[in-house]
Structure formats: structure tokens, C-alpha cells
Structure 1
Amino acid sequence: MGNIKWIFVLFSLGAILAMAFIGVAVALRNIPLIILGIVLLCVVMGYGFKTKKKMRDQGLL
């Protein structure tokens, strides 16, 4: 438990916030905000997976 990769904690929190944003946009029935939330979620998760692969290739994970 002592080896926490804080960058991944931030990526996961960003993804959670993006999902919550999508939920709020659905509740508001606002299509542009729903699309924005989906794009935001894809960007955050994609960048997180890209960072994880890069760190794994460098032997940091």
C-alpha cells in the first residue's frame, strides 16, 4: 500500500468527475453537454492508459 502512483489517482478522479458530469448533463437533457462529457471522459481515460503504457515500457511500473 506504500507505493501509490498519485498521477493515476488524479486520472481516476478526473474520470469519475467526467462521468458525474455526463449524469448531470443527462438530467438536464442537454445534448451538447452530454457529448462534451463523453469526449472529456475519453480524453482523460485515453491519456491515463497512454501514460500507464509509457511508464510500463520505461519499467516504472
Structure 2
Amino acid sequence: MNNVKWPLLIYAILAAASIVGIGIAISEQSIIGGLGSIVAVIVIMGMGFKTKRKMRENGEL
């Protein structure tokens, strides 16, 4: 557990939860919920990739 990259793990869990949210929104036939979840996935994954790039540049990966 010493080499766990906690920020990246948190982003991955949040992105997975947002993807689950898309499924829930589809089952509930909620267009607003689906669009919100899609936007959340894009934003969270973008932040995760940005964080990973910064960590790689700083030699933390």
C-alpha cells in the first residue's frame, strides 16, 4: 500500500461512480441526470489525466 497514488485512485472511483450514475439515469429515464453524469465523467477524467501528467513531470510516478 506504500505506492498507492491516492489522488489517482480517488479520481478513478469518482469516474466509476459517475458512469454508474449514467446507468441509473438511463433506468430512471432522466435526461438531465444522464447529461449531468456524462459531464461529470468528462470533467473528472480530465482532472485525473491532468493530475497524472503533473505527477509524471514531477517524477512521482
Tell me the TM-score normalised to structure 1 length. Answer: 0.93
For 1:55 and 1:8, locate their aligned partners in 2 and report how far apart those are by CA, in whole Å.
Answer: 10
* Equivalent position SS for 1:4: coil
Which consecutive aligned stretches of 4+ in structure 1 deviate over 2 angstroms post-superposition? none
Structure 2 residue runs of 5 or longer lacking an equivalent are none
Q: AA paired with 1:60? A: E
What fraction of aligned residue pairs are identical, expressed as a percent? Answer: 39
Aligned equivalent of 1:23:
23
* Equivalent position SS for 2:3: coil
Aligned pair count reads: 61
Greater RCO (Cα-Cα under 8 Å, separation 6 or more): 2
Give 1:2 shift.
3.6
Structure 1 residue runs of 5 or longer lacking an equivalent are none
Give 1:4 shift.
0.7
For 1:46 and 1:60, locate their aligned partners in 2 and report how far apart those are by CA, in whole Å.
Answer: 19
The alignment yields a C-alpha RMSD, in angstroms, of: 1.0
Q: What is the 5 A alignment of 1:1-61?
A: 2-61=2-61
* Equivalent position SS for 1:60: coil
